[in-house]
A and B are shown apart, each in its own frame.
Chain A
């Protein structure tokens, strides 16, 4: 079965600092990969998704960017963090061969921008 490794679990960063969150996947090949953000007490917001290496689709315009340098690696970045970037960031992958059971989420990173 597929496993997602996401780190760090928590992160406190000052406004204006850069950000790099990494997500790696095991147990599957050529998955769809996703970055979601969840503000406190809110639902999940899809930020980016990727169907293959180097292919990134952005759902929400913001100061964040994503990259997929390898099949099972997905990176979320920012050059200058804003206070509004605080939230719970989740990486997810989808294995098409497993149907509705194919979505797996990472353990998340709680980012606080101060």
Chain B
């Protein structure tokens, strides 16, 4: 599994766009990039997944450059409820991954 590097923490204010970048220099051809969100005392929940270019859903957008060595999770117009830890994971896209390895994540704090 490719190792990922993320900023430890980020601060933002309500209504702003937040971009969290993840580095994964050793990403393999078959690897997908997945982001999870975790609130305090809860388990992580899936946000978005992509392989290349741009993916958008009702929660976030994921931007992946052509070399795929990094990715950026974009949260539009954050609110206080977006305060959480965000994890970037890189792994096999066959959906038969035996284990999900989380890094330290990025702790996002949204202020009023």
Q: CB within 8 Å of B: which residues of A?
A: 32, 34, 36, 42-46, 49, 51, 57, 59, 88, 90, 92, 94, 96, 98-108, 110
Contacts and interface: CB of A to CB of B under 8 A. Distances in A.
A90 B43 contact: yes
Given A34-B100, A43-B87, A43-B104, A96 B45 contact: no
Contacts of A51: 98
A101 B103 contact: no
Given A43-B104, A43-B105, A96-B96, A106 B41 contact: no
B49 interface: yes
The binding surface of chain B is classed by DSSP as loop
Contacts of B32: 100
Nearest to B48: A100
B44 A105 contact: yes
Contacts of A107: 42-43
Contacts of B104: 42-43
Contacts of B13: none
Contacts of A94: 97, 100
Contact of A110 (B41, B43, B102): B41
Interface in B13-48: 32, 34, 38, 41-46
